[in-house]
Structure 1
Amino acid sequence: MRRGSWRPLLPALAAGLAATAWLAPASSRAGDPELEWRTFETPHFRVNFPDYLERVARRIARKLEAAHRILVPLLDYEPAEVAEVVVTDDTDSANGSTQVLPSNVLRFYAMPPFDFSPLQEYDDWLDLLVTHEYTHLLHLDNIGGLASVVNAIFGKTWAPNHMSPYFVIEAYTTFQESRGRREAGRRAGRIGSTLWEMYLRTAALDGELLTLSEAIHVPRRFPHGEISYLYGGYFFDYVARRHGEAVFAEIADDYGSDLLPFGISRTFHEATGEDLLELWDGMTAELTERFAAQAEALRAAGLVEGTRVVTDAETVRAPRFSPDGRRLGFFASDGYDPPALQALDLETGERERLRIVPGQAALSWAPDGRSFVYHRAEVYRGFYGYYDLFAQGPDGEELRLTEGLRARDPDLDPGGDRIACVLSAHGGSFLATMNPDGSGTEIVLAGDEESQIFTPRWSPDGRTIA
Structure 2
Amino acid sequence: MGSMMYLGMYTPTILAGEPVALNKGGQQWLMQQSQHFIVHFRSELVQYAAHSLDIAEKVHQDLASQFSQMPTDKTHLTLVDDYDHFNGWATPLSSAQILLNLHSPSDINNSEGNDDGLHTLIRHEYTHIVHMELNDRAVTRARDIFDRQILFFSHALTPSRLLEGVAIYVESKNERDYGRLYDSHFAMQMRM
User: The TM-score by the shorter chain falls in which range?
Assistant: 0.7 to 0.9
Aligned residue in 2 for 1:195: 185
Indicate the SS of the match to 1:38. strand
Asked if the contact 2:17/2:94 (under 8 Å) is kept, the reply is no
- 1:312-351 alignment to 2 at 5 Å? none
- 1:179-328 alignment to 2 at 5 Å? 179-180=173-174, 183-184=175-176, 186=177, 188-202=178-192
Asked if the contact 1:121/1:192 (under 8 Å) is kept, the reply is no
- 1:32-47 alignment to 2 at 5 Å? 32-47=24-39
TM-score, scaled relative to structure 1: 0.36
Q: Cα distance, 1:128 vs. partner?
A: 0.5
> Are positions 1:168 and 2:162 aligned together?
yes
RMSD: 1.8
Aligned residue in 2 for 1:54: 46
2:109 maps to a residue whose letter is: S
Indicate the SS of the match to 1:191. helix
Indicate the SS of the match to 1:85. strand
* Greater per-residue helix proportion: 2
Q: Cα distance, 1:65 vs. partner?
A: 0.6
Aligned residue in 1 for 2:171: 177
Whole-angstrom CA distance in 2 between matches of 1:52 and 1:120 = 23
> How many residues align structurally?
174
Whole-angstrom CA distance in 1 between matches of 2:137 and 2:162 = 20
Q: Cα distance, 1:146 vs. partner?
A: 4.2
Whole-angstrom CA distance in 2 between matches of 1:30 and 1:113 = 21
For residues 317-355 of structure 1, the C-alpha deviation after alignment (integer angstroms, 9 at most, x for no partner) is: xxxxxxxxxxxxxxxxxxxxxxxxxxxxxxxxxxxxxxx
Whole-angstrom CA distance in 2 between matches of 1:98 and 1:127 = 15
Q: Highest relative contact order (Cα 8 Å, sep 6+), 1 or 2?
A: 2
- 1:109 corresponds to which of 101, 119, 128: 101
Percent of aligned positions that are identical: 24
TM-score, scaled relative to structure 2: 0.82
> Are positions 1:150 and 2:111 aligned together?
no
Asked if the contact 1:118/1:193 (under 8 Å) is kept, the reply is yes
Whole-angstrom CA distance in 1 between matches of 2:186 and 2:16 = 37
Aligned residue in 2 for 1:79: 71
Pick the structure with greater CA Rg.
1
Indicate the SS of the match to 1:95. strand
Unaligned runs of 5+ in 1: 1-24, 203-466
1:108 maps to a residue whose letter is: L
Unaligned runs of 5+ in 2: 1-14
Whole-angstrom CA distance in 1 between matches of 2:83 and 2:70 = 31
Asked if the contact 1:142/1:161 (under 8 Å) is kept, the reply is yes
Whole-angstrom CA distance in 2 between matches of 1:52 and 1:139 = 32
Asked if the contact 2:81/2:102 (under 8 Å) is kept, the reply is yes
